[in-house]
A and B are shown apart, each in its own frame.
Chain A
């Protein structure tokens, strides 16, 4: 009988109950979703809400990719492929499901899932919401199945070779989906309703994309899933499974010698990661009401990889921050807003917090970088307006230059492998839930 087993049995079961511990992520996710949807969204208006929605989906994507690329150190370039799988499955279920169940492809959600500006009114939950929630879950599960299939070759491959396999997977998914049959349009709903499910399953629009899908994705659902993804990723990282992931990244030979089953954990990472990519794909498709495999090619995968690398491979908070920055930046550069006065107030507050939180001797550089970036921003804006340069024309160049500078200044990413809560002030002793 192992010592660990004896020790585990000798411990009393934790005081905090099983059900609350299992359920609080759901509660927190609902609270965060509700706060963003009912609290923040009406204040900031339509355009900012739309950007926030993209930010949220990108958080799900970046945090989930981080599990494969960051935790286990496998280099996957097929994340958009998993997203496409989930997206098409979810869109197919919602579109044909609506037609089958109530004869039309009109949205049938409550206020949680009907996009509307200003104050929200109406029933909280509509009949379509069940379909939507289930479709995202099934989309995630099918993507997870695809992750299992892609995870298997990763047992023998690593580094560049695995990257090529995953790249190939993404392209295969794209090509297969583009070869699907024509969609049955909403005005022929009666035809679709009469058709058996297995025939409908392949009528996904082909190269024209899958369009006119009823939309359900709102900020509530996006931030609900973003919170859930982050909590799941955290629970994974701070557990024995997570340590096994990290050990594979650090040294595969030593990890095996310590009894870590490489096969099991690499596949587990892929499955877990692709589940959330699939959910993100569902949210994406049911936000714009259309999905086209052509848009979810390897360039989309690279966007997510950039977020993960920029945030710091292995860091959840880094992935979140990078997803926020990189989703906002291209939009913010369209109409570069001035930082006067509230931007500067915010920067002063952040600088003060950093001064209090960062360890001695490591305060100066980050604060200089922060203030310097803000000054550069303001200078650039001033320059552009005074010589009548249309900044939005150069936005992708500025975006690329910022990426290059960031990678030179901090090659390990914003956070490295560390987390926001690893900072000294947040450090508590001992383990916890």
Chain B
């Protein structure tokens, strides 16, 4: 319950019919923190993300970003409040160019009235140019600038993951939620991803919450980790504490 928490989640729960997908989930991440959320398959990690980003509305509990309550807001308003995410199964705008994907991330910080669009007012043109410049800069940071004109779906897998992160960062988030960014990557790519996440945190100063299946990635870079199983928080603490928690070991390896 720290006062200056960037993301403050208090006791959110959701049930789908009789299935209690997430129960009494709480989390508090300080400004600039890098926290992890782990758990076996079906533990409710992605459901948690969907609750945080407004895809689902929690039955009880509250969510605040930088002190602003966003509980129950629709997804686009939560994005405006400063919560941005990537998806477990990549959700790029496949037929749009790489540049357009990032430009859509910039969309919510601009003003786009129908009249100024149709009349091409000076403001509209300046804004479009500013968007293009910012998007190109972002693509350069991620080493994607030379592929700006390609369709999103034609990028190799690793680039698609990076583009998703770039797109999420274009929204100028306060909190970045990464949903299994290392899924389907080989050890080298995972190492590069770890470095990328740390660089993003350093250069963009965002607070990061990471869902990960791969223990290696989370244990190395996260400051604190929350472990979910069957929708319930079974452990929370530093990587060392969590690693040695008998309940976590049980959840991952099963009992004898």
Interface set of A (CB-CB < 8 Å, partner B): 2-5, 7-8, 10-14, 18, 21-22, 232, 235-236, 239-244, 246-247, 250-251, 253-262, 268, 272, 417, 430-431, 433
Q: CB distance A240 to B121 under 8 Å? A: no
Q: CB distance A14 to B122 under 8 Å? A: yes
Q: CB distance B93 to A256 under 8 Å? A: no
Q: Report if A255-B132 is in contact (Cβ < 8 Å); known contacts: A18-B122, A22-B120, A268-B114.
A: no
Closest residue of chain A to B75 (Cβ to Cβ) is A256
Q: Report if A243-B107 is in contact (Cβ < 8 Å); known contacts: A11-B129, A259-B171.
A: yes
Q: CB distance A250 to B126 under 8 Å? A: no
Can you name 25 A-B residue pairings with CB atoms under 8 Å?
Answer: A3-B134, A3-B172, A4-B109, A4-B127, A5-B109, A11-B126, A240-B112, A240-B127, A240-B128, A241-B112, A243-B100, A244-B104, A244-B107, A247-B96, A253-B91, A254-B91, A256-B74, A257-B79, A257-B84, A258-B76, A258-B107, A259-B76, A259-B107, A261-B76, A433-B120
Asked whether B249 is an interface residue with its Cβ less than 8 Å from the other chain, the reply is: no
- A12 CA to B118 CA in the complex, in Å? 21
Asked whether B194 is an interface residue with its Cβ less than 8 Å from the other chain, the reply is: no
Partner of A250, one of B54, B79, B93: B93
**Closest 10 A/B residue pairs (Cβ):** A259-B108, A259-B79, A7-B130, A256-B75, A250-B93, A254-B91, A22-B119, A4-B109, A8-B130, A2-B109
Closest residue of chain B to A432 (Cβ to Cβ) is B125
Q: Report if A417-B108 is in contact (Cβ < 8 Å); known contacts: A4-B134, A235-B117.
A: no
Q: CB distance B129 to A431 under 8 Å? A: yes
Nearest CB on A from B94, distance (A) = 6
**Total B residues in contact with A, Cβ cutoff 8 Å:** 50
Partner of A14, one of B126, B168, B171: B126
- A258 CA to B100 CA in the complex, in Å? 12
- A254 CA to B105 CA in the complex, in Å? 10
Q: CB distance A431 to B109 under 8 Å? A: no
For B168, list chain A residues within 8 Å (CB).
Answer: 257
Closest residue of chain B to A14 (Cβ to Cβ) is B125
Partner of B91, one of A242, A251, A260: A251
For B75, list chain A residues within 8 Å (CB).
Answer: 253, 256-257
- A261 CA to B73 CA in the complex, in Å? 12
For A2, list chain B residues within 8 Å (CB).
Answer: 109, 172
For A262, list chain B residues within 8 Å (CB).
Answer: 76
Closest residue of chain A to B87 (Cβ to Cβ) is A254
Closest residue of chain A to B128 (Cβ to Cβ) is A431
Q: Report if A258-B171 is in contact (Cβ < 8 Å); known contacts: A247-B104, A250-B95.
A: yes
Nearest CB on A from B255, distance (A) = 37
